């Protein structure tokens, strides 16, 4: 098995170098997605199935989609403003200074890391061994799977803050939407997604895949308490389903309505309520009442899945897009629905 690890490790490094060296952004993103998949494999080799699932779903999946969508927006933006030279020649001196700085930073970082990694080999085993501590307390945590226990019981405050981080990201996303989102412009958002009628084949596949995706998402959520799985991976799957629906022109959560806001904040809200309620009976913050840990964790995970799914989906939908340029807009009424504007390279 040693050779496989060696190959996988080198594969990761080569993929990374490929990402950095490629000039064309599209190539870099594709290589980045392969890097994500290889990384998922590495997590499997490190006996961390949760991380493999998360890396594949979130790291390679959602990030890949966001990056490709951004490239589509850039390419369309280039077309609107009559394609001029991609970028003027950067002044050499700044580039040279950046290179030197990068060299120094790399060498010092490499030296430090090598020196410390080399010494850890000689070090005795660490003083604390949390593995035994987790095993000892897992019985009281209400779930049998170690990672879910740590995430939602032992270190649940981290998870609370983490979902808050996601919420802040989407709040900024909504905040930066096109300023003129009053009624005048809203329709154009709708109109735009209706514009390029997708091939019938895609819509049929999407209709087939959607229910399947939702079932797996709920399964992953449910399995979380005993096997690798959990709120974040399930949330990512729901987001993937949403993105597919969006591509297949089934419109959900397109406009920022109060229902969407409720959905976004649902997870953190329920989490806070569950965390604060025991405080009334004098227990410290974030403690679950004695017999109820299992069910409460499942409740929180369910709510978290919904809001994480919605947040990741809205990060895709609400991201700023160029409004339809004037010449194309007045072209629509004349030629009917199947005008040929290409809505970004989503394939």
46-85 residues near another protein, rule: CB under 8 A: 46-48, 50-51, 54-55, 58-59, 62-63, 66-67, 70-71, 73-74, 77
Give the integer Cα–Cα distance in Å for 264 and 246: 18
> Nearer to another protein by C-beta: 217 or 312?
312
The CA-to-CA distance between both ends of the chain, in Å, stands at 37
> Nearer to another protein by C-beta: 32 or 246?
32
Q: How far is the CB of 234 from another protein (least distance, A)?
A: 12
DSSP string, 63-116: HHHHHHHHHHHHHHHHHHS----SSPPPPHHHHHHHHHHHHHHHHHHHHHHHHH
117 binds another protein (CB under 8 A): yes
- The answer to whether the beta carbons of residues 343 and 192 sit under 8 Å apart is yes
126 binds another protein (CB under 8 A): yes
- In sign, the C-alpha dihedral spanning 275, 280, 284, 290 is negative
One of 241, 286, 300, 306 touching another protein (CB under 8 A): 286
Give the integer Cα–Cα distance in Å for 170 and 264: 9
Q: How far is the CB of 35 from another protein (least distance, A)?
A: 7
One of 82, 85, 87, 281 touching another protein (CB under 8 A): 87
Residues 140-169 that bind another protein (CB under 8 A): 146-147, 149-151, 153-162, 164-169
13 binds another protein (CB under 8 A): yes
* Coil, strand or helix at 181: coil
* Coil, strand or helix at 254: coil
DSSP string, 267-295: HHHHHHHHHHHHHHTTPPTTPPPGGGHHH
Residues 180-239 that bind another protein (CB under 8 A): 199-202, 205, 208-209, 212, 230, 232
Give the integer Cα–Cα distance in Å for 204 and 332: 26
> Nearer to another protein by C-beta: 98 or 252?
98
> Nearer to another protein by C-beta: 191 or 198?
198
One of 30, 37, 42, 328 touching another protein (CB under 8 A): 42
> Nearer to another protein by C-beta: 127 or 327?
127
326 binds another protein (CB under 8 A): no
């Amino acid at each position: 098995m040693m050779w496989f690890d060696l190959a996988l490790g080198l594969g990761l490094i080569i993929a990374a170098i490929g990402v950095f060296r490629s000039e064309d952004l599209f190539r870099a993103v594709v290589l980045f997605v392969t890097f994500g998949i290889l990384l998922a494999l590495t997590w499997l080799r490190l006996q961390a199935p949760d991380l493999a699932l998360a890396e594949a779903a979130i790291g390679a999946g959602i990030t890949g989609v966001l990056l490709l969508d951004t490239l589509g927006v850039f390419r369309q933006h280039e077309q609107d403003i009559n394609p001029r030279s991609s970028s003027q020649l950067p002044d050499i001196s700044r580039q040279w200074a950046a290179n030197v700085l990068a060299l120094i930073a790399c060498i010092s970082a490499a030296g430090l890391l090598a020196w410390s990694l080399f010494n850890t080999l000689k070090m005795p085993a660490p003083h604390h061994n949390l593995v035994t501590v987790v095993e000892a307390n897992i019985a009281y945590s209400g779930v049998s799977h170690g990672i879910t226990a740590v995430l939602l019981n032992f270190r649940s405050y981290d998870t609370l803050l983490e979902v808050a981080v996601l919420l802040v990201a989407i709040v900024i996303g909504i905040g930066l939407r096109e300023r003129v989102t009053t009624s005048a412009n809203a329709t154009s958002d709708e109109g735009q997604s209706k514009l390029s009628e997708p091939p019938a084949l895609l819509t049929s596949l999407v209709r087939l895949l959607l229910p399947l995706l939702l079932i797996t998402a709920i399964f992953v959520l449910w399995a979380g308490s005993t096997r690798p799985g959990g709120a974040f991976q399930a949330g990512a799957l729901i987001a993937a389903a949403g993105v597919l629906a969006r591509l297949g022109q089934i419109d959900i959560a397109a406009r920022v309505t109060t229902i969407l806001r409720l959905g976004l904040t649902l997870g953190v809200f329920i989490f806070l309520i569950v965390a604060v309620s025991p405080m009334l009976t004098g227990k410290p913050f974030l403690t679950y009442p004695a017999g109820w840990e299992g069910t409460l964790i499942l409740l929180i995970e369910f709510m978290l899945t919904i809001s994480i799914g919605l947040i990741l989906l809205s990060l895709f939908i609400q991201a700023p897009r160029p409004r339809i340029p004037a010449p194309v807009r007045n072209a629509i009424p004349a030629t009917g629905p199947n005008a040929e504007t290409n809505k970004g390279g989503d394939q």
